[in-house]
Amino acid sequence: MGHDHLDALPDGVVLADAEGRVVTVNQMARRMLGLPDDVIGQPLEVVLALSDHDGNGWVACNLPYEGLPSRTGVPEQEWLLPDGSEVLVAARLHRNGTGPVDTVAVSLRSGRGRARLDRERSDLVATVAHELRSPLTGVRGFVHALLNRWDKLNDEQKKLMLTTVASDADRLTRLIAELLDVARIDTGRLQIHPRPCDLVVLSERVVASVQHATSRRITLIASDVPQVAADPDKVIQVITNLVENAVKHGEGDVEVAVAVDPEDPAFVAVRVTDGGDGIPAELRARVFTKFWTASAGGGSGLGLYIVNGLVRAHGGSVCIDDRPGGGARVRVTFPATGAH
């Protein structure tokens, strides 16, 4: 991208070379940072005059030229410009293979985008409060009933109440785990521990587990597939989410198919299909956003957002299409172990 093109961008851009000297600054970055025209060749820490509330500089805090060879960027953070206004700053660290950093690309985005983030956070808090309240109300109600009427209840009634309390507590635990995942995906701190694993075995485990909780038939169709490089816990979370979604929002039998991805043999695909109405094409992009729910049946609306985050963190892909004859089909892919 030429310098003229960089000047056309709405965000500020600063590029520095392997020695930490600035090689490019676009017009927006000059304006934001209040820079003169002759800053090319100056040290990045001098040009990038950003500070936090304690007066520390961006370069000193993030040390872009240090760290592991696997480090590829600095996540978006809030910083103050010389005029005191807020700016959101992120960086990409480019290397030649696993060698030292040869280019640092810093972007500066007006803090006005923060208002949107704050709105999203408020939505998250409201959604979560609502979702946490219903199981908690059940837990409190039954626990108070047990405490106040213990002697008047027979064992069968006590057992029924405690079973309900246990399942509500499980639901709360799941919701809290979902929230932590959302926070990690949003901040780029999601930890994946890939190792060779068998997608067929993991899918069998999920199908058996979800089948216990539903009368709908769930079938698994598996062909001979290579192992994938993935975190087995995260894979189980992804497939469970997709199968539970198909049971909850779809109709008819649910089919889980594991096969080499026909579009790219370096990946193994898991396809989950149901016999419901399917997801209209115009809504498919929104399915993976936060708080999207397909029905009035409730749910946090975070499940598919997490599925998307987990699969992409593995280097895989997620897509939705129609099943021939109706129904939704969601396909996720994971890289096969030998694939690069």
Q: Can you list the positions of beta strands (E) in the chain?
A: 12-16, 22-25, 73-80, 86-95, 101-110, 195-197, 218-222, 228-230, 254-260, 267-273, 318-322, 328-335
Site of tokens 């993935």: 230
At which of 66, 85, 110 does a domain end? 110
Residue 297: what pLDDT?
46
**200 and 286 within one domain:** yes
CATH of the domain at 141: 1.10.287.130
Please say whether the dihedral angle defined by the alpha carbons of residues 232, 236, 242 and 246, taken in this order, is positive or negative.
Answer: positive
CA–CA–CA angle 144, 139, 126 (5° rounding): 125
pTM above 0.75, yes or no: no
- How many domains would you assign to the chain? 3
Of 74, 94, 73, 90, nearest to 18 by C-alpha is 94
Residue 104: what pLDDT?
95
Cβ neighbours for 319, distance < 8 A, ≥ 6 positions apart: 330, 331
Domain interval for residue 22: 3-110
Cα–Cα distance, 195 to 205 (Å, whole number): 18
**201 and 75 within one domain:** no
Residue 9: what pLDDT?
86
**147 and 21 within one domain:** no
Residue 340: what pLDDT?
46
**119 and 106 within one domain:** no
At which of 110, 126, 153 does a domain end? 110
Divide the 340 residues of the chain into consecutive groups of 10 and give the mean pLDDT of each group: 75 93 93 89 92 88 88 88 87 88 92 69 75 86 93 93 90 84 81 92 93 90 93 92 86 91 92 81 70 52 82 90 74 82
At which of 76, 110, 144 does a domain end? 110
**147 and 32 within one domain:** no
50 occurs within a structural domain: yes
Contact assessment for residue 76 and residue 89, using Cβ atoms and an 8 Å cutoff: yes
298 occurs within a structural domain: yes
72 occurs within a structural domain: yes
22 occurs within a structural domain: yes
Cα–Cα distance, 133 to 25 (Å, whole number): 50
**273 and 317 within one domain:** yes
**208 and 247 within one domain:** yes
CATH of the domain at 311: 3.30.565.10
**235 and 331 within one domain:** yes
Cα–Cα distance, 311 to 232 (Å, whole number): 12
Of 263, 193, 271, 198, nearest to 228 by C-alpha is 198
**327 and 225 within one domain:** yes
CATH of the domain at 29: 3.30.450.20
Q: Which whole-number Å values give the CA distances from 132 to 113, 125, 237, 287, 290, in the listed order?
A: 29, 10, 20, 22, 17
